[in-house]
A and B are shown apart, each in its own frame.
Chain A
Amino acid sequence: MSLWRLEWLRLVRTKRWIALASVYVFFGLLGPLSARYLGEIVERFGGGVEVTFPPPVPADGMIQYVSNVSQIGLLVAVVVAAGSLAFDAKPEMGVFLRTRVPRLWDILVPRLVVSFLAVGASFVLGALAAWYETVVLIGSLPVGGTLAGIGYGSLYLALVVAVVAAAGSRSKNVLGAVLVTIVVLLVMPIVGIVEAIGKWLPSHLVGALAGIPSGMGIDDYLPAAFVTVVLIGLSLWLAVRWSAAREL
């Protein structure tokens, strides 16, 4: 039994992977469907009010997917990652691990990697489902741009996991780690309202999957990607530093 297997078992036995995958895949299937049939849905439940929508374009399928997973999907991802990364939440469990490994990295790395792979794989699965359904129901999407959007979205999720690690090393329980992370993630789009700053913020990457098929260039997201990489490094550094300073 290794710490890598421990994390794998955590995902499988606690059914966390099902929660993650089902949320992302559900929204992946729902997004293009609602984009394609929005007019019909409103007409059926609109109580006789006639609303005219422009015909859906392929990018709409991804816009619907991104808008859904950037809220509920992100919340599930944060909760799942915090359950693993706040390893001192129960001090007795923290003692078990800390007194048996020479470096904190040995505890953190498997948790970071497995959490990211689980969250990232769920996001990619959902995006692929949304892509497939968009092609079937609305029309084709640019392959290169969509793949780049998936890559940018995954990079943003890597930052989310790193922020959870930092928050988990500072807060005393899982709920605290979740709340701190949510606050940090909420602050970014608020700051991003200022246009000059917005394109540099990691939250800009969230919309890449919808933005690139809508006409944005792949290069437009590079500044945000650069800042995201820097912030991932900073978050991990803080996670190690704060974990090392913690007394049990």
Chain B
Amino acid sequence: MIVSTHQLRKEYGSTLALCDVELRVSSGSVYGLVGPNGAGKTTLLGILAGLRKPTAGTVEIGVEWTKVAVLPDTPQFDPWLTGREVVDLARSLTDPSVPPGRVDEVLEEAGLADAARRTVGGYSRGMLQRLGVASTVVGRPGLLMLDEPSSALDPAGRREVLDLVARLRGEATVIFSSHILGDVQEVCDTVGILRAGELLFQGPIDALLVGSAVPTYRLRLRPPGDAAILALRRAWWVRSVEAVTQEEVRIFVESVEAAEQHMAAALASTDARIVSFGPEAATLEQVFLELTS
């Protein structure tokens, strides 16, 4: 584990912001920290980054301090500095041994090469966010903490930031906090769900999607499909069948294994005209709402 916390607790007066959080982030993973506003994501990242002090509990970081980089949700810089100067300042403070040529390299990757010599006071919100990412990666960190890096960006800006994060996979461990679940599902391999300061789930994102939601299949068939639907409803491994359209139904099954074993035979026995059928993947949003509701 590159990051682990034990019984981590943070109180602001009488408000409990984090409650005995046991975070486990394995080396090389892209860890998505999700939760509604006020769940404690920023507080947790602040404690991991050393910017806030926990009320109780411990934090263990498995890389040296100079290899930890943090990007706040709305990065800001002195407006009279150029983009290149901002990244070069980050380089010299983080690791002066990194060659200055690396500055131009990360600015190019962030799509800011053309704007590098302009003062950042004239940068758009998306450009500032990308400049923040460039400043964060310039020192080749081993652990990055990105707090809502794609929030409040337009679709193009969001796309660019997500691509930047995706390119970090394999180069560093990333903790990526967001309430945009689609972003997390796209770039993260591990997820932690935080609600009101409690870590409700953490683990591989695939395990969450398969394990938490009721396994569901989607079946398309030519009308009339009544006989097939009736046969499915009678099957012991089917929980329920829900009509989506005249030609399409959702089948909630007891388990994926049982469905894989019996569904083809059950449909074949009814003479129904089957167009297609297959498992319906749960989205992180569905699972998240299930867990947090």
Contacts and interface: CB of A to CB of B under 8 A. Distances in A.
Nearest to A14: B80
B272 to A, nearest CB: 60
B90 A100 contact: yes
A6 interface: yes
A247 B88 CA distance: 26
Contacts of A102: 65-66
B94 A247 contact: no
Contacts of A6: 78, 81, 89
Contact of B93 (A9, A13, A90, A101): A101
A117 to B, nearest CB: 19
A248 B85 contact: no
A95 B81 contact: no
Nearest to B89: A1
A110 to B, nearest CB: 12
A93 B101 CA distance: 24
Main secondary structure of the interface of A (DSSP, over half): helix
Contacts of B81: 6, 9
A93 to B, nearest CB: 5
B80 A9 contact: yes
B70 interface: yes
Interface stretch (B43-51, B209-217, B252-260, B277-285): B43-51
B262 interface: no
Contacts of A100: 90, 93-94
B122 interface: no
A204 to B, nearest CB: 37
B39 to A, nearest CB: 18
Nearest to A247: B52
B113 to A, nearest CB: 18
A3 interface: yes
A90 B128 CA distance: 15
Interface string A74-93: 00000000000000001111
Interface string B37-62: 00000000010011111000000000
A1 B88 contact: yes
B93 to A, nearest CB: 4
A2 B74 CA distance: 23
B70 A99 contact: yes
A84 to B, nearest CB: 10
B58 to A, nearest CB: 18
Contacts of B74: 92
Given A91-B72, A247-B46, A1 B78 contact: no
A134 B36 CA distance: 69
A95 B78 contact: no
Interface string B72-85: 10111110110001
Contacts of B80: 9-10, 13-14
Given A92-B72, A248-B46, A3 B93 contact: yes
B92 interface: yes
Contacts of A172: none
Interface in A98-125: 98-102
A101 B68 CA distance: 11
B153 to A, nearest CB: 16
B202 interface: no
Nearest to A91: B72
Interface in A41-75: none
Contacts of A248: 46, 51-52
A96 B77 contact: yes
Contact of A92 (B53, B75, B94): B75
A93 B51 CA distance: 13
A2 B135 contact: no
A99 B76 contact: no
Given A99-B49, A99-B50, A248-B46, 14 more contacts: A1-B85, A3-B89, A3-B93, A10-B80, A93-B77, A93-B78, A95-B51, A95-B72, A96-B75, A96-B76, A96-B77, A98-B51, A101-B93, A248-B52
29 contacts: A1-B91, A1-B92, A2-B89, A3-B89, A3-B93, A9-B80, A9-B85, A10-B80, A91-B72, A92-B72, A92-B75, A93-B76, A93-B78, A95-B49, A96-B72, A96-B77, A96-B135, A98-B50, A98-B51, A99-B70, A100-B90, A100-B93, A100-B94, A102-B65, A247-B46, A247-B52, A247-B53, A248-B46, A248-B51
- By Cβ-Cβ distance, the 8 closest A-B pairs, closest first, are A100-B93, A92-B76, A13-B80, A1-B89, A1-B88, A247-B52, A99-B70, A248-B51
